[in-house]
Structures are given as structure tokens and as C-alpha cells.
Amino acid sequence: MTDRPTRSTPDATVDADETVVSDAARRSAASSEVTNEYSREVPEEPTELEELLTGTAGEPVHPADVSTVPADDRRTLDDLDVGERVEDFDLLVALGRGAFARVFLARQRSMQRVVAVKISRDHGTEPQTLAQLDHDYIVRVFDQRVVEELGMKLLYMQYVPGGTLLGVLERVRETPPDHRTGRMMLDSIDTVLDSKGAIRPSDSTVRAEIAELSWPETVAWLGRRLAEALDYAGKRGVLHRDIKPANVLLTAEGVPKLADFNISFSDHVAGSSPVAYFGGSLSYMSPEQLQACHPDLPTTAADLDTRSDIYALGVMLWELLTGTKPFTDIGAGGPTPPTLERMLESRRRGLGPEALASLPPDCPAALRRVLRTCLDPDPARRWQSGAELAQQFELCMDPHARDLVDPPARSWRTAMQRWAIPILVAAIAIPNALAGAYNYHHNKTLIISTLSPLAQRHFEQIQFVINAITFPLGAIILLFLCRYPLTVPRGLRQGRRYDAHTLARARTDTLLLGDRVVLVVFGLWAFAGLAYPVALQVAAGGIPPGAYVHFLGSLIVCGAIAVAYPFFFVTFYAVRFLYPVLLPLGITSSDDDRKLRGLDRRSTRYLAVAASVPLVAVAGITFLSPDQIPEMIGAVRILSVGAIFAFVWAYWLFRQLELDLHALERVVSHERAERTG
């Protein structure tokens, strides 16, 4: 679900009056909450704070009042404290600090609003970087100011009150694995809100959704949103380069917002370069970022791209899922060459048995695969974009779809995938054999028995020749048309890699497998239906005109049997067991959703054909003469009753196929990816 509509892309600069907390009701509520919080922090000055928050609401701000620090007083970040005024901002509550800056909840006097103010030394391009980004899952920056006399920069932005993922991670480590749920994350957020005197949201559909999620599903829920943020930033040439729990803020509803672009890089910001302020948190870095930190390796910061951020996101989500990092990094210290080399070696080895054993028992196989792909040491084998990764996390949250794409371990579905050729042969051959038996009995009773002995002998020869031609020809054509659906999934299971074109071709051919079987089989039945009377006409010197009607009638009934029932079993098998194998590599640029909807519509038409078989068989009795009815009534009765049971079976397959198609449509839908773009 979408938490709220995506806003339009901003201009290069952001006007100061664009804010999410500017309405009067929000200002009033925020001011009240901040007053309570500040009164607890600084009990000796509550009256002054109340005046700051309410008494000067209508008074202009004079330039002389803005700066309270002498020009020659060079202060450090540690000198700043709650209760002070810096430029246009009254510092109300200390929200946190990092290696580069301190963050305060502050009241902006000129705009009469509560904002988060990040105060840092005057370097970096974070404000310019953030000014390009206007996304639901990225903290919204309003503007910046430089305090020349302090040598500091003030970046004021949207206030996100729910804490960070670091606080949630601490709660994860305190909670036994079988008690971790989405409700646990909400409890962590509520603890932060209570400590700040903030009000918990009521009647929130987002919180209600999170509360119902398991912990792995919650991690996937967070991952999908953060992947969308990375995709949005990546398409605008922005790399974060320091993704970690402390840099992901949470709203009161639990929506994550990526923050702290202090060491990020944007190729659209003048004066910014990949190596400027390059850094990050070592334990979350991708192998290529660690190589860029190593003084003796050729990799540079300019070589990094979104896939490096995807790796860091994978490390963070793995830690959030299990409570431990995927790599132990024993003895890791500062960014010295020996430390970097040990960390690089650890990541090149990949995830070890201990890391895999730390996954919770209820972790879906899909989420395990998605995170392991994020953490692949080779960037070419990771997800190539945030949109691709977001789509995979969406899959992890859909139980039906994820079990199709990633069946549970030792599932019967895995065994069914290995027997594709015998299963498809049986699905096609059995209905056609039954149809052939009925066709032989029908023609033998109503047509051939009335011909001369010479014509009857010719019929047996003609039947042998036609069968000797049509069956091998049909098998060769079907094997050729099925070569991609049969070989590519098998190759993927054996570890082979295919290019995007081959995978797209395999997916298309797999979805068309049932239709192609119908086309080939019905074409051969039509050929036989025409070949029999023509061959008899030539060999026997003529047949009664009514024989042509009987040949046509048997063709219609047998053709319907040979078309409808194989279609449902072949298509059901292809959609449930073959097509999902082709999905994990990502399909964000395909039109598979359109093809799946088309198959859904066609299956309804084939169901109508399956329902018509017993009706056509009964209707055919009315074309027989009274003396022919006793000869055919037994075969027609068996055909009608059998067709009814076959239709019930086909209808069950149709319903299962419909569920699978709808689940797969959700997997390959591009509406969400297009919104983030």
C-alpha cells in the first residue's frame, strides 16, 4: 500500500515555506508537546519557553535579535546546548549527534513552525543533494543557512518524531526471536514518542498494517520503501554511501525515511565530486567501497554506484532481521589497510553457516534469497537498481506469490519442476488418446462399417499412415516450441546465467505454452478430419455424403476434448512450476503483467470450450437416425459423464490458475516502480 501520494519533483532549490508541519493545528500541537518536553529538560526556564513558543507569534523578528553569539567567539558543536538561540532557531530538544553534526528539535521564529535543525561545520553538499530529493521515504529538507561567525551550517528539515532504526535494532536484540513482530517495532516507536511527549497516531491504517506483520515481513516492508528511496535518488545521480540504522528515521506511523546525506554524492550538484567527504560506516560498506577506502587498491569513490548502497541496505536489513550483522569483522578497528583487507576477505567469502543459521525459522525463502543477492560480493550479481529490489521485497510480503517463486525447502513443487517433460507429455497425450479412442469408435460404427470390405481395409491403412505422420510431427513441433520453457528453468536451477533477452523469451514462451499446445494439437486434428474422407474418397472410389457430416461431428467433439483439457493442465503446470523460476532475477523492464492478464482472459474462453463438450456430445445424438442411436448411446453416455467430471477438474484448475495469475501479476506490476521513478 502507499502511505500517501508521492509529491512532484522539486526544483533545484527549495523554498523555505514548503513544509509538512506548517498548518496551524500542527504548530499548536507541536508547540504544546515541545513545551512539555523542554519543561522536563530545563525546569528553571519554562516561562521563557512559553513566551518563545506563544508570546512572540505575532511579533516580527528583528535582525539584531537573530544572532546571540559575538562574531569573534568561535564555538564548537559541543558548546551548543538546549535553550540557546542560533540564527532564527530556538533549540528546544537535543535529538541526537553523529560524527559530523548535532541535531536539535527547534522552533523557527520567522515561520512559526517546529523543525529539525542539523548543525554542522560548513562543508559538504548535503543541502544541495537533499534539495533534489522530494520523496515519501526521504527526509524532506526545507532550506539551509550559514552562520559565518560560527563557521557552521544550519540545515533545517522535516521533523520525524519516531526515532531511528537503531532504536528498533536495540529492541530486536532485547526480544527473543519468536516474539519479534511488527507490533514490536511500533512499541519501540511509541517508547520514543512517549519520551518526547508526542501523541501516538490513532486510526492509522499504516500502523494497523504493520501490527499484523511477522518480523520478516516487517523487514521486507521497510526494505521495499528504502529500496524505492534508493531508486529515486539513484535516478537523480545521488548516492548515499552511509546507509545504517542510525540514518533511517521513522515517522510516528512507522514509515522509514532515509536521512543524513552528509557524505553522499550527487553528479547534479556543482562542486560535488565522488571523493569529497568520502567515508561511511565500515561494517555496512560494500566490498567496492572498502576497496575505495584502501590506499593501495585502484578502486576509487568514482567507481561506486547504486549497487553499493544496495549492499549496505542488505547488511542493515540482515542485522535488523537477525539482530546480528552478517559479517563478524572480529578485531576490526579503524580504516587501516590490515583492517580493510580482513573485512574485504570476509565479504568475498560470502555468508557463512553461522550467518545463515541466525535467520529466524519463519523467514520466507524469498526474503533469504533477496538479502543474499543484496550481499553478493560481485556488483554484477546484485540487484541492479532500487526498483528491482523494491519489487522483490514486495514479493516477499505476498505469501501466495512468494511461495510460487521461492517454494519452501523440500517442497513437492521443487520435485514437480524436475519432471517437466513426462508431466507435459502425459497432460497432452492422455486427453488426446481418449479423444482418439472415441473418434475411432464413432467413425468405425457410423461410417466404416457401412462401406465395402475394400474401403474398410483402406481405412485401416489410411489411419496407420495418418497417425504415423501426425504424432511424430506434433511431438517435434511441440518440443521446438517448448525449448525455452523446458531448458532455461532447468539451467537456472543448475546455476547457469542467461541474458535478459533469453529470460524474457523464456517467460513469454512459458505463458504461451498452453496456447501453442492447443494450436498444434487442434491443427493436427483438423488435418486428420480432412485427410480421412479425402483419402477414403480416393482409395475406395467414394463414400456416402453423410459420412462427411459424421467426420465433421467427431472432429468437433474430439477437437474440443483435445484442446480444452490439455490447455488447463499444461498452463497450470507452466504458470505454477516453470514461470516462477524465471522471476527472481528481476523483470522491471518487461511487460509480463500485460501477458499475464491476457492469459487470464484466454483461460476463461477455454473454460467455456471445456463446458461445451458434454453438451455437444448430447446434441450430436439428435443428428443420428433412429437405428444408429442404439449403437452410439453407450459411447455418448460415457463421453458425457466423463466430460462432466473432466469439466469439474478443469474448473478447479481454472480457479487455481486464476489465483496464481493474480499473484504473479502483483509480482510483476510496474505501477509502484513507475511512481518512484
Binding-site members for ATP are 118
CA distance 243 to 241: 6
Largest CA distance in the chain: 122
Query: Rounded to a whole number, what is the distance in angstroms from the first to the last CA of the chain?
Result: 17
- Report yes or no: 669 and 593 within 8 Å, Cβ to Cβ: yes
Ranges of beta strands (E only) in 98-198 are 101-108, 113-121, 141-147, 152-157
Residues β-bridged to residue 249 = 164, 257
CA dihedral of residues 208, 96, 119, 264 (deg, nearest 10):
-70
The helix/strand/coil state of 44 is coil
- Report yes or no: 140 and 158 within 8 Å, Cβ to Cβ: yes
Q: Which residue has the cell 504415423?
A: 468
Q: Which residue has the cell 462399417?
A: 449
- Report yes or no: 240 and 138 within 8 Å, Cβ to Cβ: no
Alpha carbon 648 to its chain centroid, in Å, reads 35
- Report yes or no: 359 and 305 within 8 Å, Cβ to Cβ: no
The helix/strand/coil state of 151 is coil
CA distance 571 to 247: 47
CA distance 308 to 289: 7
CA dihedral of residues 113, 117, 123, 126 (deg, nearest 10):
-70
Q: Which residue has the cell 472410389?
A: 541
Residues β-bridged to residue 631 = none
Show binding-site residues. Answer: 118
Residues with Cβ within 8 Å of residue 447, at least 6 apart in sequence? 543, 547, 550, 551
CA distance 307 to 487: 30
| CA distance to 98, 147, 441, per residue, from 276 (Å) | 18, 22, 84
CA nearest to 385, candidates 250, 220, 227, 507: 227
Ranges of beta strands (E only) in 177-293 are 238-239, 248-250, 256-258, 265-266
Radius of gyration of the chain (CA): 35
CA distance 557 to 553: 6
CA nearest to 419, candidates 577, 571, 565: 577
- Report yes or no: 456 and 444 within 8 Å, Cβ to Cβ: no
For residue 193, which amino acid is it? Answer: L
